[in-house]
Structure 1
Amino acid sequence: MRIRAIEPFPIAYPDPNDFGTTRRTVLVKVTTEEGAIGWGECIAMWPEACKAVATIITDGLEPILKGDDATDTATAWEKMRRHVWWYGEGGIASLALSGVDMALWDIAGKAAGKPLYEMFGGLKHDRLLANASSHVNKRGEAACVAEVVGFFEAGFRSTKLGFAKKGESNIGGDPDTDVSFIRALREALGDQAEILVDIGNGVRWDLETAISVCNRMGEYRIGWYEEPLYPTDDAGYKKLAASTDVRIASGEREFTEAGYRRQMEMGAVEVYGVDPARVEGITGFRRVDALCSQYGQVINAHAWSTGITTAASLHLSLASPNAEIFEYKPFGVVVQDELVGEKLWHKDGWAYPINAPGLGIDVQEDVVQRLAAAA
């Protein structure tokens, strides 16, 4: 199973969750000399980053891996990391490495005739709570509450809500408004519904505000409170964790095992968002998951992109003893609905395993080409 070609495909597509805003990513196709194909993804997001990732793959990673055994994921991962040593401890290089590693795991699973979760040691969960992961961006509190209520009526059992996103809502712009929204949402959903709050990059709070909002929202039993401070504000996170009983989440903007280890040694964060299309691939995710086991922490796959990353994240989450939920986009979008042959979706509010070999998805190459042409 020798590698013949590694092809990056920067793509662009409208995202209904952000009122049709163009979202970008880079898909990766690895082909072996025998004709086997694996797919991966690098969530680079911005046009210039997607171009840079594609260049690193084409000019840097493909030449060093061409002719190598596509099923030897460990050797390939180490080889790529050694190659990018000067510019690769995080950032663009980690994104590029992620997509190639994911595609190689897809091939390795297909070659073994096993779904990836079996390659990772088997299922640790038969199913996970299906989480509707969405941005709060409709006009007015009532409309925002009604939208989330609709997620639960559609079968979801958990929701994660991003504040200060593109749209018509002022959620994330004022602490009192934010707390009022969570109060109204809890009243509408009842006691059993799980509500997770993702404060996000668009919010700029000082430490005192972050602590106050956390504790006020905690009265309405939020499951966790994600990234209210800049990710590297270690002192702030320590003070926040010491000032609340609410679980603190972070990690979405980390790239490497070393970065997660630093946060875990700090001891303030309990839930870690990890994206296999960002953290040096499936291999990188599993290394972070091992850290979560070592430190007794929760891992949460940030699967919020195409069906390729969703598939990888689902295998990884179900094979991890540290996962609690699985995130889905609750709105229709081409990279979930059309990019793969069968949309990955929950059943009665639960995420179940994919049992086909490798990632277990059938990537539609005509859709890849169409979205690449739009980029």
Structure 2
Amino acid sequence: MLVSAQAIAADPTTVGVFRIPTLPQARGPLSQAVIDLLRSDPDTTPTVDVTAALHDPDPYGDDLQLALYLCYEMHYVGFADADVTWEWQPALLSLRAELERRFLDALHRDVPAAAEGETAQAEMDELCIENPDGEGASYHLRDNGTWEQYRQLFALRSLYHLKEADPHAWAIPRLRGHAKAAFVAVEFDEFGGGRGNAVHQELFADLLRAADLSADYLGYLDTVPGVALTPVNLMSLFGLHRRYRGAAVGHLAATEITSPPGSQRLLAGLERLEAPEACRHFYREHVEADAVHEQILRTDVVGDLVRSDPGAEADVIFGIRAFLFVEDALDAHVMGAWERGESAFPGV
């Protein structure tokens, strides 16, 4: 059952009921323009000119990333205070296209394109090289992380994990044959194998509740930094554009290949801290399931796609590299805060 946030916010009997989120506060002129559009009447609102606001925006900053996230959200659950018909209104789509152009221009500038002779197989092989004594948030949390630092990471990741697998699902109708069947097999597991309480989104909601955090969908949208929105926006962009079906496949491959070792480190830290079982269960599931998914994606999805459509290989590589670029930026944000003795997410 879907219930508006306003109707149930103060009702203690609605624990576990899915709350449709409301629009957040703006972070600047771009997100303000999107919020103003979504709060207006879609039948009477003209196209909005944001040329001035787009003059020199940070393509990875809070304002542009929140604005883009709001546009994409209309294709997912939407907002209780935004008319559902905004999803396909030209005014919003036109504004979204401008935001996407700035985001894509930055990605193509910062993410190296595939050079001649480079292969998706070699790119995935590179992802499999693991340093047991590496650097980054998962290593820190494994060895020295505190419970509060785990809670900060959980909240930062909630913007993705509470819609886990949804962005990649857009790629399904863009695939054919064996690649499609194998891709769906991976998504089927992500969606709980037909069991509602095993859907990975629900497992993460259980984790959040066990960590005494909000399990509401988009519950931290008002305070999460743009660097935590960028990875989700990248998935949505790839999934919603048929042009980037290869990048969507590459992104999922990178996600599943890097998930088991990262999840194993996070699980080890949670066990060291004797964290609630619901928190450990989420990462234990990803250690086990994603190790199988890795092999399916490498051979049956990426391998079959590249064999049937060699032109998609460069996009698969771009999807892998873009995944690493935005994930590294988030990791740098988290580790930078912790090294300074600060919270990576002051909103928690």
Q: TM-score range by the shorter chain?
A: under 0.3
TM-score, normalised via structure 1 length? 0.23
Higher strand share: 1
Give the alignment's TM-score, normalised by structure 2. Answer: 0.25
| Greater percentage in helix | 2
